[in-house]
Structure 1
Amino acid sequence: MPVSMFGEARINRRTLLSALGAGAAVAAASPLLSGCSSSGGGSTSGGSVTSEDRLAGLLPSYTPIEYAAPDLPGVHGSVPGYTSYPAELVRAVTETPGTGGEVTAMTPAYWPLAPSDNAYHRAVNERLGAEVNFSVVNGSDYAARLNAQLAGGELPELTVIPDWDVPARFGEAVGGSFTDLTEYLQGDAVAAYPRLANIPTRAWAYCVWNDGLRAVPTPAGLFPLALYYRHDLFQEAGFVPPQSADDLYRLCTDITDPDAGRWACGNIFLEVKRMFSVPAEWSRDSAGNLIHESETEAFTEAVEFMARLFREGLVHPTVAGSTTGQEKELFESGALWLFSDGLGAWQEALARQLPSNPDFDMRPIPAFSHDGSDPVYYTQEAANLMTFISSDLPGERVEELLRILDFCAAPIGSEENYLINYGVEGQHSERDANGAPALTDLGSREITITYGFLAKPPYIVDQSQYPGYVEAMHAWEAEVAPFQVDKLTDGLRIEEPPRLTGLAQQLDDRLQDLLRGRTSVDELPSVVDGWRRDGGDELREFYAESLDEAGR
C-alpha cells in the first residue's frame, strides 16, 4: 500500500459513531468537537472552550508553496489532482534538519509492522540527520497505550494522536505533557518552517488547547466519505446511479438476489442521513433554538429508510448480523454493490484489486438528494491527526524537532515527499512508463506510514498509477464541492464535559437496535427522549452557550 493512502481513518470517528456502531473501537471516540466562548478558554470538569477570536490570534500565518502545479486544480476548495507524477523533483530542504542523535516518536499502525532492520528508515534518517526511533503501536491498542503513558508521564519526544483517540479530559493534561508551540509557530514565526506554513490555517485550529498551540496537524481532505458503487457491475447489469431516495430504494431491490449471492449494500446510514439533509450534529431551528440531529424530521426519515433496507433483506446478512461486518471485502468481491467509506478507501481498493481483477471499477455516486433538490455534503474537520512535542525540552531541541516535521510535510514535487512516500527510487520504488511510482517488493515490506504520520502536506490526489482514478476522484469532488456545508461548530474547539462524552455511543447503540429490527422504529421518539434525559439537554445547554457567545 503506498503510504500516501490512509482510507477509513480519514473519517472522523465521531462521524462514524452515528452509523457504524463499532462497539469497543468507537467507545474510545474523541470528546473533541468545535465551538467557542468569549472566555479565554481552559479545561474543567464542565468541559472547555476556546474563543474564536483567541484562536485566530494563536494560529500560524498561511503561506502556500508549490513545487509542482496540479494538472487538475481544486474547485471550490476540492482536492487538486495530479494525473501524472512530476518527472523532475526539487530538493526543498537544503540544510540537514537534525543535529545527530536519536529522536523518539510514537505512532499507531493499522497494518502489519515493518521489519526492524529497515533500509527505508535508514535512508530517511540520513536525510533528516537524526535517527528517529519509532514506537509503533497497534491501532486498536493505541488509546490505551496513550492513556497509560500520559498517566505515567513517560512520553516520547514526538507523539502522534489521532482525533478519535484523544483521551477524555485531555485539556487538563496537555499543558503538563506537551510543549506550547505558540511562540515557535504563531503568526509569521512559522516562516522558519516553510512546509509547515503551507498547512492551511483551518487545520491548525484543531491543535489549540488552553490558549496554546499544542501540536502540528495532519490536514484532511474536504469531505469525510462517499457512497461508492461498483461501476463495472452496474454497467454489466444496465443499472444507473440513483438521483433520489426512491431511486436508491428501487436500485437496492433490483440489485439484491440472494440466490446469485449478491445484496445491495452494507450499513450506509451515514450516506442515507446525508441524502435526507440531516443536520450534522447540531443546527438552529427557525426560532434560533439549538436542535440535535436526532430531533429533526429528516433524521426520522433517514432512520425509517435505512431500517427498511435492513428489514427487507437488502443489506448483506453478514453486515446485518454484526456491527463490524466485513464490508470492504464483500464490496470488492461483488457480494454487495453499494458501500460507504472514506475517500482514501477508493485507491486502497484499487491497489488490492487491480493486479488480479483489472476490470474492477468502483466510483462514488454522483451528487444527489432524497427528493432531487440541491444536495448537502458536509465537510469534515480540517485535521485528523496531531503531532505533539513533549514538554520540558530546551528551545533548541523543540526547533530541531519542528525542522524534522517541516521536512516530513514537504509537498509533491519535492525529493523529500518522494522519499517519505516511496523510499529510494530504484530500491523501494520504480516508476512505470508514465512516470508513476510504485513500490517494489522491498518497499512494500519496509514502508508503512511512520514519518508520514509525523507531518503531512495538504491533501491531494496523485495516485496516477491507477488509470482514470485521479480524473474520476477530481471530477466527483468538483461536482459536489458547490454543495459543501460546514457544521455549525466547524473550525472552533470544545471539549465536552467528560460526564457527557458517552452519550453519542449510548444513542448509537439504541439506534442500531432500531435499524436492525431488534426494536421497532416506532420507538425512535422514546430513544431520543431517553437521550435528552440522560444528558442530551445538558449537552444542548453547553453547546448553546458556547455557540451563542461565538455568534453562531
Structure 2
Amino acid sequence: MPRRRHAHRRRGGAASASPHRDSRGGRSRTAAAALESICTLVRSKRFDYRWRRGGRTSALTRVVLPLNDEARNMEKNLTAPMVRRRTLFRTGLLGSVCAAGLPLLSGCGEIGGGEGSVQMRNSELEILPEFTEWTLPTEPDLVGEPPDHPSGYLTYPDPVEKAVPEPHGGEGTYSIYVPNWGPSMAKGDPYYTAMAEAMGGTRIEFVQNDPNAYTEASVQWIKAQEFGDGILLFSWMTSADANFDQTVINRFANLSEVLTGDVSERWPLLAGRGEAAWSASVWAEDPENPEETSGIYGIPWTSNGGPGNGFFYRADLLEEAGLEVPATVEEFLEVARAWTDDPAGKWAIGGTDYMTTAWFRLTPGSGWSEQDGKIVHNNERPEFKEWVAFQRQIREEGLVHPDVGTPNFDGKAAQRAGEVLFDQDGWSRWTDVPAQVAASGENPDFALDVLGPITYKGGEPMYHGAGGVSGWLFLSNQLEKEQIEELLDVANWCASPAGTVEQEMIVYGIEGEHFERGDDGRPAFTEAGIASKQDSFAFTAMSGVVQNLLEGPAESVQRRFDFNASVLPVLVKDEFETARITPPGGAAQAGTIFDEKVNDIINGRADLSTLDDAVATWKTDGGDATRAVYEKVHSTLKGE
C-alpha cells in the first residue's frame, strides 16, 4: 500500500503542511484553545508547571504552537509565575493542570469520570510479546545483575558489531513529536538521510519541541489528534492529563494485533525487552475486565533499575577545603556551613528536593507505603516534618544557591563553575561533565563524585531505586497496520544497546562528520557534532534499549558499577509501582494545595507549625479517599 508522506492530515484526509493553521493561514482552533488554556492557567494563579531533566527547573516560557501576531502579543503579556520542580513528596496523584482544578479535557466526550481507577501490571497477559533473550554481540567486561545492577564495558567493543545486520526496510516517511534540549535538526538534514539508509529506507522526521512547554502542549496536541504519527511522553508527563488512561484508548494505536506472541523473527530486540517493559505498556478499556479489554498501546522507553539518581559533589573542592565526605545529615550541614561563602559567590547546596527524601527514609514514587500495618503517605509521617524542617533550615542559613527553584538555576553549570558543592542530577552528569571539562582543558583538577546513602539521627540508610519504564512512544490510531509494522521495524533497530553500530549512529551521528574515534576506539564528538548533534533528542525516542549497559571511560564505568553494587542492599522502590492508579476526583487539587503550603513553609513564608493543619486539610480534601484506593491495591498485591 502507498505510505503516508506527510505527518498531518485534515479530517477530510488531505495532508496539511502545518497541523496548527487552517487553509486561510489563520490561527487554528487548536492553537486558540491552547492559548486560552494557558491564559486560564495563569489567571488562576495556581499554575504549577513542572518538567524534569537532571534537576533543572523551568518556567513556562512559551506555548509550542505556531501563533499569529495577535496571539503572540497576548502571549507576551502573560505573567508566568515562579515554578518549582516536581518532588518526591508529591501526593502521587495527578499532574499540575488538573491538580489546579482546571479540567482541560472536560469538553471531550470520550473522557471518563473522576471516581478513580486501578490497572494492575500483569506479566501473564496473553497479548504480550513472547520473551526471547537477545544475545549481546560483545560480552561485557563487568557482568552485573540487571536491571538494578547493569553490566558494563571497560574497553570499547572492537570491532563494533551491528545489532540488526539486515533491517527489514520500508519506504514510508513519518513524523514523531519529541521534546528537545539540544540543537534542532532540519527536515532535510543529511543525518536523517543517513539514518534512513541504515534502517532500510524508512525516514523518520522529528518535530523537536521546546521542552519547557512540551508537557502541557502535548495534552492539546493529543486531544486534537495533531501529533504527527507518534509522540514520546515520559511517564511523569502523563499526569498532565487527569484522564490519561482514557486518552490512551481514544487516541493511540493498539499494537497488540502485531506484537502478541512470538515476534522474535522480525523484531528480535523488541522481543528481548521482556514482560516487565511490555506489561507496563498495557492499558485496559475496562480495568475491571483486563483480560478481555487490555491492549499494548505504547512502545516502552527506557527500563529503569538500580539507583534512580545521584547527589553529586565536587571532590576536588571538598579536598581543597580540607573537608570530609559526609555520611549523615548532621555532617552534611557541617560541611555546607564550612564551605559556603556568600560574598565570594559560593553556596554549598544546589537542588535537593528529590534526592534528600531518602535521607529521612521517606518512600519513593507514589509516596504511599505500609507503615506498622497501615497504609500511609509521606505527608503524614513524622519523618516528613523533619525533612521540611531540614529544607527550611538550609535556606534560612543561606546554604542554598539563591537561584534554586527559579528558571535561572542551571545546576550543572553552577557545579562546573564551582558555585555549588553539592547538586542532584541524573547519572549522565557523572560522565558528561568531567568529559566536557577535560575536553575544554579549563580545570585539570576537576573531580566529580557521588554521595552514598546519608542517614539521619542514627537511622538505617536508604537509597531510592528506579523502577518501571521512563515513558512510551505512542503511535497514532490513524495509522494502518502496515505502517505500524514499519515503525516497529524502526523501534527494533533503535533498541540496539551501547557498543553497537546502531547505537553509535543514534547517539553520535555520522562518523567523520559528527564524531571521530579516540585512541581507545570510543566515539568523540567533533566540533560540528557538538554544534548540531550532541544532546539533540531524536531516534533515542523510538524505543528503550534491549539492555541497559554501562559504557564510557574505564574508570567511570568501574566507579558506577561499584556504586550500584554498594547501594543494592539498601535500595528501596515504590511498592505500588506495578499498579497504575488514578485517584478519586479532587485528590489532585488537594495535593497541589498541600505542596504550595509546604513550599511556603520551606521558603519562610509560613511557620513550620502550620504543617499539621495542612496535613489535616489534605487528608480531608482527598488524602483519605486516595488512601482507600491504595489500601485495596495493597490487599490485592498481598493476595488478600
What is the TM-score normalised by the length of structure 2?
0.76
Aligned counterpart in structure 2 of residue 430 of structure 1, from 516, 524, 529:
516
Alignment-derived partner of residue 529 in structure 1 = 616
Q: 1:230 touches 1:337 (CA, 8 Å); kept in 2?
A: yes
Q: 1:318 to 1:390 in 2, by over 3 A?
A: closer
For structure 1, which runs of at least 5 residues remain unmatched after alignment? 1-6, 32-41
Q: 2:56 touches 2:410 (CA, 8 Å); kept in 1?
A: no
Aligned counterpart in structure 2 of residue 460 of structure 1, from 533, 549, 559:
549
Q: List aligned pairs for 1:157-196, cutoff 5 A.
A: 157-166=229-238, 167-189=241-263, 192-196=266-270
Three-state SS of the structure 2 residue aligned to 1:469 is: helix
Alignment-derived partner of residue 38 in structure 1 = none
- 2: CA distance between counterparts of 1:29 and 1:404? 35
Q: 1:460 to 1:221 in 2, by over 3 A?
A: farther
Aligned counterpart in structure 2 of residue 471 of structure 1, from 553, 558, 564:
558
Q: 2:173 touches 2:205 (CA, 8 Å); kept in 1?
A: yes
Task: After superposing the two structures, state which structure 1 stretch, 330-339 or 77-86, moved more.
Answer: 77-86
1:33-60 C-alpha deviation (Å, 9 max, x unpaired): xxxxxxxxx9643233223447654433
Alignment-derived partner of residue 177 in structure 2 = 106
Kindly indicate whether residue 387 of structure 2 is the aligned counterpart of residue 302 of structure 1. Answer: yes
1:79-125 C-alpha deviation (Å, 9 max, x unpaired): 32222221212222233333213122111112331344422211101
Deviation at 1:365, TM superposition (A): 0.7
Q: 1:396 to 1:11 in 2, by over 3 A?
A: farther
Deviation at 1:425, TM superposition (A): 1.8
Q: 1:135 to 1:58 in 2, by over 3 A?
A: same
Q: 1:269 to 1:159 in 2, by over 3 A?
A: closer
Amino acid at match of 2:483: R
Three-state SS of the structure 2 residue aligned to 1:283 is: strand
Max radius of gyration: which structure?
Answer: 2
Deviation at 1:487, TM superposition (A): 0.9
Deviation at 1:251, TM superposition (A): 1.4
Q: 1:423 touches 1:429 (CA, 8 Å); kept in 2?
A: yes
What is the TM-score normalised by the length of structure 1?
0.88
Three-state SS of the structure 1 residue aligned to 2:474 is: strand
Identity %: 26
1:423-476 C-alpha deviation (Å, 9 max, x unpaired): 222222111111111111222233222011111313332122xx7322222222
Aligned counterpart in structure 2 of residue 49 of structure 1, from 118, 121, 132:
118
- 2: CA distance between counterparts of 1:404 and 1:376? 40
Aligned counterpart in structure 2 of residue 414 of structure 1, from 491, 500, 504:
500
Deviation at 1:409, TM superposition (A): 0.7
Three-state SS of the structure 2 residue aligned to 1:494 is: strand
Three-state SS of the structure 1 residue aligned to 2:528 is: helix
Alignment-derived partner of residue 363 in structure 1 = 449
Q: 1:324 to 1:163 in 2, by over 3 A?
A: farther
Q: 2:282 touches 2:298 (CA, 8 Å); kept in 1?
A: yes
Amino acid at match of 1:72: L
Amino acid at match of 2:314: R
Deviation at 1:214, TM superposition (A): 0.7
Deviation at 1:282, TM superposition (A): 0.5
Three-state SS of the structure 2 residue aligned to 1:410 is: coil
Kindly indicate whether residue 114 of structure 2 is the aligned counterpart of residue 70 of structure 1. Answer: no
Kindly indicate whether residue 427 of structure 2 is the aligned counterpart of residue 343 of structure 1. Answer: yes
Deviation at 1:479, TM superposition (A): 1.1
Aligned counterpart in structure 1 of residue 299 of structure 2, from 211, 216, 219:
216
Q: 2:281 touches 2:298 (CA, 8 Å); kept in 1?
A: yes
Amino acid at match of 2:166: E
Three-state SS of the structure 2 residue aligned to 1:18 is: coil
Three-state SS of the structure 2 residue aligned to 1:223 is: coil
For structure 2, which runs of at least 5 residues remain unmatched after alignment? 1-50, 58-83, 101-110, 285-293
Three-state SS of the structure 2 residue aligned to 1:501 is: helix
Task: After superposing the two structures, state which structure 1 stretch, 233-242 or 46-55, moved more.
Answer: 46-55
1:230-264 C-alpha deviation (Å, 9 max, x unpaired): 11111112222111122112111111222433222
Alignment-derived partner of residue 318 in structure 1 = 403
Q: 2:187 touches 2:205 (CA, 8 Å); kept in 1?
A: no
Q: 1:125 to 1:497 in 2, by over 3 A?
A: farther
Q: Which has the higher contact order (CA 8 A, sep 6+)?
A: 1
Alignment-derived partner of residue 450 in structure 1 = 538
Deviation at 1:403, TM superposition (A): 0.9
Aligned counterpart in structure 2 of residue 60 of structure 1, from 124, 129, 133:
129
- 1: CA distance between counterparts of 2:214 and 2:403? 28
- 1: CA distance between counterparts of 2:514 and 2:477? 36
Q: List aligned pairs for 1:104-143, cutoff 5 A.
A: 104-128=175-199, 129-143=201-215
Q: 1:176 to 1:277 in 2, by over 3 A?
A: same
1:374-403 C-alpha deviation (Å, 9 max, x unpaired): 411122232112111211433222211111
Q: 2:586 touches 2:621 (CA, 8 Å); kept in 1?
A: no
Two-structure CA RMSD over aligned residues (Å): 2.9
1:478-515 C-alpha deviation (Å, 9 max, x unpaired): 21122111212122322334543344433222212111
- 2: CA distance between counterparts of 1:303 and 1:323? 22
Amino acid at match of 1:273: T
Task: After superposing the two structures, state which structure 1 stretch, 369-378 or 533-542, moved more.
Answer: 369-378
Deviation at 1:216, TM superposition (A): 0.9
1:337-389 C-alpha deviation (Å, 9 max, x unpaired): 11112222333323443322232211111233224554111222321121112
Alignment-derived partner of residue 36 in structure 1 = none
Alignment-derived partner of residue 632 in structure 2 = 545
Q: 2:430 touches 2:449 (CA, 8 Å); kept in 1?
A: yes
- 2: CA distance between counterparts of 1:495 and 1:134? 31
